[in-house]
């Protein structure tokens, strides 16, 4: 089922990843002060947060930079390749590396254009994006594995021939489904 529609699946995955980045943007904007107050002592929060955030429409510039960067980084790091043989560690590497590169890209853009946006917001946005993308990838991997256990998304193999070579090929396929 999935192998026949892989292009459709990857497009859907890109759409979901973009939605996750937008959700992470709103979460970082809405809960920045709450998260910083919860995680860090008050004296550090005062130094890091830099005061109140501006209006949200002023921060859409960051979202406009982040979406294409996330799309490029996730593609570059192999997020849209087949998940069948992916490990949790490789999924974490993809999400963390993408978030870090996007953080550097946003930071470089803000520095080059001498724009003054909240660094804590940008950091929190990239961290939340990475965590949500990682969580989504794990959920997708578990869903695909459970579908496979129920007999979905298999490839059929026809062995033509007889004798010891055919039996050995059959045993190799059975040992490594």
pLDDT tens, position by position, 2-36: 456 677 878 899 999 999 999 999 999 998 878 77
Residue 69: how many CB atoms within 10 A of its CB? 21
The token duo for 166 is 């055919």
pLDDT in tens, 44-70: 545 555 567 788 999 999 999 999 999
Rounded Cα–Cα distance for residues 131 and 104 (Å): 17
Given this model, what pLDDT does residue 57 score?
A: 92
pTM: 0.79
pLDDT in tens, 121-145: 999 999 999 999 999 999 988 888 8
| 3-state class percentages of the chain: helix first, strand second, coil last, to nearest 5 | 75, 0, 25
pLDDT in tens, 71-109: 999 999 999 887 777 899 999 999 999 999 999 999 999
The token duo for 123 is 């950091």
């Amino acid at each position: 089922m999935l192998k026949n529609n892989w292009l459709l699946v990857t497009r859907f995955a890109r759409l979901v990843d973009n939605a996750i980045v937008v959700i992470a943007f709103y979460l970082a904007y809405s809960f920045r002060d709450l998260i910083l107050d919860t995680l860090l002592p008050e004296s550090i929060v005062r130094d890091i947060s830099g005061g109140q955030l501006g209006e949200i429409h002023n921060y859409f510039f960051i979202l406009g930079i982040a979406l294409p960067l996330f799309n490029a980084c996730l593609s570059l790091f192999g997020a849209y390749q087949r998940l069948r043989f992916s490990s949790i560690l490789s999924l974490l590497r993809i999400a963390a590396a993408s978030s870090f590169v996007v953080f550097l890209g946003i930071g470089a853009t803000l520095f080059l254009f001498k724009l003054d946006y909240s660094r804590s917001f940008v950091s929190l946005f990239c961290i939340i994006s990475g965590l949500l993308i990682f969580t989504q990838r794990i959920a997708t991997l578990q869903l695909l594995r459970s579908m496979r256990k129920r007999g979905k998304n298999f490839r059929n193999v026809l062995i033509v021939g007889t004798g010891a070579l055919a039996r050995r090929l059959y045993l190799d396929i059975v040992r490594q489904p």
